[in-house]
Structure 1
Amino acid sequence: MLDKGVIEESTSDWCSPIMLVRQIQSSGRRSASRGRVTNWKLSEQEFRPHPLQWINRMKDTNAQITVGTWPFNPLSSSMEGAGGVPVRSRPSEPASDLRLHSSSTSTLAFDHQLPASPRGLLLLAEIVCGLLVWILVGGTDYFHEAALVWVMLVSVLYWVLTVCLFLIYLSQTHQRVPAVHWKTVSLCFNSSATVLYLVAAAVDAASVGKAIGGRHNYNCWAASAFFAFLTTLCYAGSAFLSFGAWRAQEEEL
């Protein structure tokens, strides 16, 4: 059998040596010794048989059977030669790796149309204008005026939240978390930002008169008041769009 290629030599721990068993009729019967497989040692104190699955279970799950280093699929007709005998083929990429690759690429998908949409443009305008507000105020002696401390608190807080909201929409995270009512969250966020920013802009404009004209504080506070009102208009536009999307969702329900 070795000369004809029926069996081959192997040094694997899972190999089963072929032997001839003498029968009562004085005829030999070919058999395979499973001793090495049965007594394979998993640890120093534990012996277990080789953990193979049932062949019918492997067929049901369309699993790959591994013979040496050449896996083949029992349900694939292209893997069988003449007479239904499995032939060797090149190993293919497991389906789990394909699913992992596809899921990893899907998590990196971005909404490329967001920056050009009205909602994306308003979010970018809020980020830029809000950044200018707290930079201009932060570069002065604002801590001597309690009203300007309020302006800094509102501008920094809503700038951070707006950046986070923009990243959520850009990465399409809101589509992966359907349990959160994002339209309602966006409406509440933009509405509160409009009201609080309007108050902050009015306070900032009133604080300009307390500075000496032409000085650094005066120029920065005047510029920050202008950008604060501009940011308020952006948040008002976002609140209007959010209200329209929220109302359309409520009518569908």
Structure 2
Amino acid sequence: MSATTAERVGSLPSGVGICRTAPDILYIPELICGGLVWILVASTLVIPANPQGWVMFVSIFCFIVTFLWLVVFACEGHKNSQGWAAADCVYHAVAVILYLSASVSLAKTTIDFQTSDPTSKTYKIDIAAVVFSFLATLFYFIHLILSAIRWKTF
């Protein structure tokens, strides 16, 4: 009895299968948290511009690439090759590094903003952005670990 490609332990999901596999179901929370970071940071006063601009770049870049990655897997563009499994690990490692740097930068900016007016709406929105930024980092990290395990069993 030979297992089909879709049933293989190290196989990459495709189509609706991405909604049923452990690492790939994390695309949805990654997109939601990343989109919320993008929206929340964009809705606040951009002070100082440099760290907030970095956060916007990271959140938009990761949102777009994650969405494209999701589309490639959903449309079966990967053809179940080991190269795609490795690329999935590399992308998520890069996303973790980028989001971690953006999250720390955003947290530092929010802490600095607290001293000026801790009751303002902008401060509260920045806190929400920090929380979702660290959540996105966590989801990308979990996805990285699960993708690495899948890549090793491929």
Q: TM-score, normalised by structure 2?
A: 0.83
Q: 2:119 aligns to what?
A: 214
1:148 positional shift? 1.0
Q: How does 1:151-170 map to 2 (within 5 A)?
A: 151-170=55-74
Percent identity of paired positions between Structure 1 and Structure 2: 26
Instruction: List runs of 5+ in structure 1 lacking aligned partners.
Output: 1-109
Q: 2:4 aligns to what?
A: none
Give the Cα separation in 2 of the matches to 1:144 and 1:201: 15
1:199 positional shift? 1.1
Q: Moved runs in structure 1, 4+ residues, more than 3 A?
A: none
Q: TM-score, normalised by structure 1?
A: 0.52
1:143 positional shift? 5.6
1:202 positional shift? 0.8
For each residue in 1:9-56, what CA deviation from the matched residue of structure 2 results, as whole angstroms up to 9, or x when unmatched?
Answer: xxxxxxxxxxxxxxxxxxxxxxxxxxxxxxxxxxxxxxxxxxxxxxxx
For each residue in 1:78-128, what CA deviation from the matched residue of structure 2 results, as whole angstroms up to 9, or x when unmatched?
Answer: xxxxxxxxxxxxxxxxxxxxxxxxxxxxxxxx6222213222321111000
Give the Cα separation in 2 of the matches to 1:241 and 1:209: 33
Q: How does 1:96-175 map to 2 (within 5 A)?
A: 111-142=15-46, 144-175=48-79
Give the Cα separation in 2 of the matches to 1:236 and 1:181: 20
Question: Once superposed, what is the RMSD of the aligned Cα atoms?
Answer: 1.7
- Structure with the larger strand share: 1
Report the number of matched residues.
138
1:144 positional shift? 3.6
Instruction: List runs of 5+ in structure 2 lacking aligned partners.
Output: 1-13
